[in-house]
């Protein structure tokens, strides 16, 4: 498999964690989102992902899968252990609700292309963009996630699920942009537990080949 991604992309970060947890060998194909005007806009990459977003997973047979949650659910179906979604339907729905709160409500409106549009076409100051980012990370999602998760070492149950795979990259980005998260004790407990798992640590942005 080949993963097209960017080291700081939280969506690619989620997929790296899933691949690592399932011990699936993969090749990384970096797509730099800033250099050269954004390599994701090249014709070659758009042929793989019409949205010009990362990640894209290329399978051994050449098939392409886009959208991080779709990729992760594909991996979970192909390699069921460790399971990233509980067998219990109600609990699986709660896991998906947290994952979707992060991936659909927080992430899209704080995506690089949105922030660039705010600064460029909308002529907003960096301070205004930073306030936008912080507001939607906290008020748009993490405060709700704090209430939605169980409060143990992981979001739900005794091991990482799809919810944890989404939460950890979002907390990483929150720290990077100086968003206040010290009042989210349940989220921080999950962060500490996940940091002890090699699959999560190996997926961290600064450990990726394109981080240099």
Nearest Cα to 12, choosing from 68, 76, 71? 68
Residue 29 lies in a domain: yes
Give yes or no: residues 93 and 78 share one domain.
no
Domain of 160, CATH number, reads 1.20.1050.10
Structure-block tokens of residue 107: 């992430």
C-alpha 18: how far from chain center:
10
What pLDDT tens digit does each residue of the chain (212 aa) get? 999 999 999 999 999 999 999 999 999 999 999 998 899 999 999 999 999 999 999 999 999 999 999 999 999 999 999 999 999 999 999 999 999 999 999 988 888 888 888 888 888 898 888 888 888 899 879 999 999 999 999 999 999 999 999 999 999 999 998 999 999 999 999 999 999 999 999 999 999 999 97
For the chain, what is the domain count? Answer: 2
Residue that is written with structure tokens 């919810």 in the block: 163
Phi first, then psi: give them for residue 87, nearest 5 degrees. Answer: -70, -30
The residues, any chain, with a CB within 8 Å of residue 67's CB and separated by 6 or more, are none
Give yes or no: residues 107 and 130 share one domain.
yes
pTM: 0.94
Give yes or no: residues 38 and 20 share one domain.
yes
C-alpha to C-alpha distance for 126 and 117, rounded to whole angstroms: 12
């Amino acid at each position: 498999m080949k993963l097209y991604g960017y080291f700081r992309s939280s969506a690619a970060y989620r997929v790296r964690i899933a691949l690592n947890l399932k011990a699936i060998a993969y090749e990384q194909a970096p797509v730099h989102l800033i250099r050269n005007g954004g390599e994701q806009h090249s014709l070659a990459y758009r042929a793989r992902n019409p949205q010009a977003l990362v990640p894209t997973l290329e399978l051994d047979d050449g098939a392409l899968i886009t959208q991080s949650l779709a990729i992760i659910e594909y991996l979970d179906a192909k390699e069921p252990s460790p399971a990233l979604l509980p067998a219990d339907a109600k609990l699986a729905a709660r896991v998906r609700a947290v994952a979707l709160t992060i991936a659909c409500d927080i992430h899209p409106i704080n995506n690089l292309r949105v922030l660039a549009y705010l600064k460029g076409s909308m002529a907003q100051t960096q301070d205004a963009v930073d306030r936008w980012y912080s507001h939607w990370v906290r008020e748009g999602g993490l405060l709700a996630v704090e209430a939605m998760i169980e409060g143990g070492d992981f979001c739900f149950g005794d091991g990482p699920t799809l919810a944890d795979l989404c939460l950890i990259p979002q907390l990483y980005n929150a720290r990077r942009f100086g968003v206040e998260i010290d009042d989210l004790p349940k989220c921080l407990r999950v962060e500490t537990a996940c940091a002890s798992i090699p699959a999560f640590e190996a997926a961290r942005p600064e450990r990726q080949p394109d981080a240099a």
